[in-house]
Amino acid sequence: MLVNPISETNQISAMIEWLASFGKTESGGVTRLLYTPAWKEAQQALKAKMEEEGLQTYFDSVGNLFGRLQGTENSGTILTGSHIDTVAEGGKYDGAYGIIAGFIAVTRLFRKYGAPKKTIEIVSLCEEEGSRFPLTFWGSKNICGIYNLNVAKKIQDTDGIAFLDAMRASGFDPQHYTPPVRPDVKKFVELHIEQGMVLEKNEKAIGVVTHIVGQRRYTVRIKGESNHAGTTPMQLRKDAVSAAAEFISYLTRKAKETDPRLVATVGQIDVKPNVSNVVAGEVAFSLDVRHHQSEVIEQYCEDIFAAFERDAAKMGVGVAVTKWLDAEPVELDRELAETARSIAKQQKIAFQDIVSGAGHDSQIFGPFCPTLLLFVPSQNGISHSPKEYTAIRDLETGILLLENILYKLAYE
């Protein structure tokens, strides 16, 4: 295994810090949401860096950024990269690492070997997390022809800003939208942090992802009656907060009973009027459910929503459930996975197969073209947090593997 010069290891760490400076927060994390100024600055800065290395760069009509290394043959494009957006108060590696890894691997290949046979493009996907608007994979779904402007027309963020207005304000005018589909893309390779504890526990440097879990996200809205906290007897209340508490306790318990690999999360709660001396009249909460088998998700959701309806009737409140994300489990390309394993073996990199509990752009590309997703370890499994961390040695191992894989796919 090639030992990389210190300067190259420094390059990785410097680029991680550099990209994290766009949207840096007081707690040392990163908040870089779709179509915000920090998002735009990051994309522009990446574009400039790619151009410095001699790549052709361009944006598509939704804000995905591409850095292109033209191939000598006219035989399609090998795409590598990840997403530029973060969750609120996220870490420096989630999504960013895959873009930086692609940049470093591709520029190293270019410097060592010149132009490839097949065109290679690095992509900085505009949005994946669903952390600003109730839409996810906006970048990859547009490329794969699954989304277009229609799904975004009525969407707004929690400050009431319309999606299309935000898009326009950051320089991507909806009027100039054309579906940015890419039939030339023949393979997609993504490098990402694990965001779990398995690789670290098993002392592996690389995870070869075989499946990505299916997931559903809902908004549950409870309608009670707001009233005076002092003069309304308990038995006469239609308290949306009490009802929400009952539902949330129930769904958490039920998830644990159903399957140890099922996860169900209420991450966001919105109470109206949200004042200490007023019985709450309305509560909306988010629900995020994931498992690698559709049937398990389906049955669990059916059970809990039936229970909500029954309990709501007893409590005299109304309940309405809206689903806004529904992603099927995805199995990734077996041949590419095998390529990754054999190169890792050759390079004496410790690896294992793994299932991803997080959604990734790879699950969108998966049905569209042969796709490979590789993980590097996350310290303590922490992600979506300023404490997110991966050791530089592991970051470097991932880039080395990616470089070798891209060589095989585009130069051989």
- Known binding positions: 83, 94, 129, 192, 217, 277, 290, 384
Can you list the alpha helix ranges (DSSP code H) found in 21-67?
Answer: 37-52
Residue closer to a second copy by CB (options 184, 246) is 246
Give the x-and-dash track for 1-40 against a second copy (CB under 8 A). Answer: ----------------------------------------
Residues 235-254 that bind a second copy (CB under 8 A): 235-236, 239, 241-242, 244-246, 248-249, 252
**From 60-68, 180-188, 202-210, 222-230, span contacting a second copy (CB under 8 A):** 222-230
Nearest-approach distance from CB 344 to a second copy, in angstroms: 22
Give the Cα separation of 185 and 101 in Å (integer). 19
Give the Cα separation of 342 and 327 in Å (integer). 30
Contact call for residue 215 and a second copy (CB under 8 A): yes
Structural contact between residues 136 and 129, judged by C-beta atoms closer than 8 angstroms: yes
Give the x-and-dash track for 84-123 against a second copy (CB under 8 A). Answer: ---xxx----------------------------------
Residue closer to a second copy by CB (options 76, 357) is 357
Q: Which residues of 47-81 are buried (b: 16+ CB within 10 A; e: fewer)?
A: bebbeebebebebbbbbbbbbbbebeeeebbbbbb
Contact call for residue 234 and a second copy (CB under 8 A): yes
Residues 365-384 that bind a second copy (CB under 8 A): 381-384
Structural contact between residues 127 and 139, judged by C-beta atoms closer than 8 angstroms: yes
User: Total residues at the site for a second copy (CB under 8 A)?
Assistant: 67
Residue closer to a second copy by CB (options 15, 241) is 241
Contact call for residue 322 and a second copy (CB under 8 A): no
The string of DSSP letters for 87-128 reads -TTB-SSTTHHHHHHHHHHHHHHHHHH-S-SSEEEEEEES--
Binding residue numbers for allantoate: 217, 277, 290
Residue closer to a second copy by CB (options 181, 321) is 321
Residue 325: exposed, middle, or buried by beta-carbon count in 10 A (0-12, 13-18, 19+)? middle
The string of DSSP letters for 282-317 reads EEEEEEEEEES-HHHHHHHHHHHHHHHHHHHHHHT-
Give the Cα separation of 362 and 335 in Å (integer). 15
Give the Cα separation of 71 and 336 in Å (integer). 20
Residue closer to a second copy by CB (options 23, 71) is 23
Token pair in block for residue 167: 């898009």
Nearest-approach distance from CB 102 to a second copy, in angstroms: 22
Interacting residue with a second copy among 49, 68, 211, 290 (CB under 8 A): 290
Look at the block and give the residue holding tokens 């908004």: 219
Residue closer to a second copy by CB (options 45, 248) is 248
Contact call for residue 155 and a second copy (CB under 8 A): no
Contact call for residue 279 and a second copy (CB under 8 A): yes
Structural contact between residues 398 and 374, judged by C-beta atoms closer than 8 angstroms: yes
Look at the block and give the residue holding tokens 């950051």: 170
Residues that bind a second copy (CB under 8 A): 87-89, 129-131, 194-197, 213, 215, 217, 226-236, 239, 241-242, 244-246, 248-249, 252, 255-256, 260-269, 271, 273-281, 286, 288, 290, 356-359, 381-385
